[in-house]
Chain A
């Protein structure tokens, strides 16, 4: 089955700097790669996703890149703000009735 590795497990950045979180997946059949943000005491919430027919997707300060050949994808957050502090999860799925497989998460701290 699919295996998703996520790095780093913790990340601290200064406010205004950029943050990058990387994930690798094992199954080349995977075609959907979402990123979820989990704030303290809440359930995860989708922030951006990308499908395998696209190499990059951007939404304001957040972008995701996908390299299908290398089987890795990354989340980029620019101009970080204190409210970006949270746990971020990447995930991968090959579709059909095969559920998402999540990475172990990255705790991002933005220091003001």
Chain B
């Protein structure tokens, strides 16, 4: 039981490049989330999903897209990376609903130059 796994762990992108971050969970959780963590800003929600095939915008969705084609996977896409998207990205999942323990991945450190 690996929990929540994020791929890749580190990445450097040039401005304008695109990439996809993959989050996989093996706990049969319904809800999945993508956060970004910046110094002094805490954890800010980018997008989330309440079940397979669903997605919803969070607090800071601009410049990102997501897909939840399979229950166990939640993909975060950057269409045209900008330096402002330099951050640490965390994926999380919860079993049923938002008012239960969230399990986080180890994070992806993304630098856009």
**Distance (Å) between the CB of B10 and the closest chain A CB?**
11
Measured between beta carbons, the chain A residues less than 8 angstroms from B42 are: 6, 89, 102-105
- Which residue of A42, A44, A97, A104 is within 8 Å of B50 (Cβ)? A97
Interface size in chain B (residues, C-beta < 8 A): 25
Query: In the complex the two chains form, is A43's CB within 8 Å of B41's CB?
Result: no
Show the binding face of B for A, using Cβ within 8 Å: 4, 33, 35, 40-45, 48, 50, 56, 58-59, 90, 92, 97-99, 101-102, 104-107
- Residues of chain A whose beta carbon lies under 8 Å from any beta carbon of chain B: 6, 9, 31-32, 34, 36, 41-46, 49, 51, 89, 93, 95-105
Report how far A32 CA is from B33 CA in the complex, Å.
17
Residues from chain A with a CB closer than 8 A to the CB of B35 are: 102
Residues of A within 8 Å of B40, CB to CB, are 9, 104
* Distance in Å: Cβ of A88 to nearest Cβ of chain B: 11
Q: What is the minimal beta-carbon distance from B107 to any residue of chain A, in angstroms?
A: 6
Partner pick for B98 among A36, A45, A97, A104, CB 8 A cutoff: A97
Q: Contact: A100 with B106, CB < 8 Å? A: no
By a CB distance below 8 angstroms, the chain B residues around A32 are 98-99
Min CB–CB distance B83 → chain A (angstroms): 22
Complex CA distance for A81 and B26, rounded to whole angstroms: 33
Q: How far is the CA of A51 from the CA of B99 in the complex (A)?
A: 9
A21 CB to nearest B CB, Å: 13
Decide if A93 touches B98 in the complex (CB within 8 Å).
Answer: yes
Least Cβ distance of B44 to chain A in Å?
A: 8
Task: Give Cα A46–Cα B3 distance, bound, in whole angstroms.
Answer: 14
Known: A89-B42, A102-B42. A43 touches B98 (CB 8 A): no
A43 touches B101 (CB 8 A): no
**Nearest CB of chain B from residue A107's CB, rounded to whole Å:** 10
State which of B58, B90, B99 has its C-beta within 8 Å of the C-beta of A43: B90
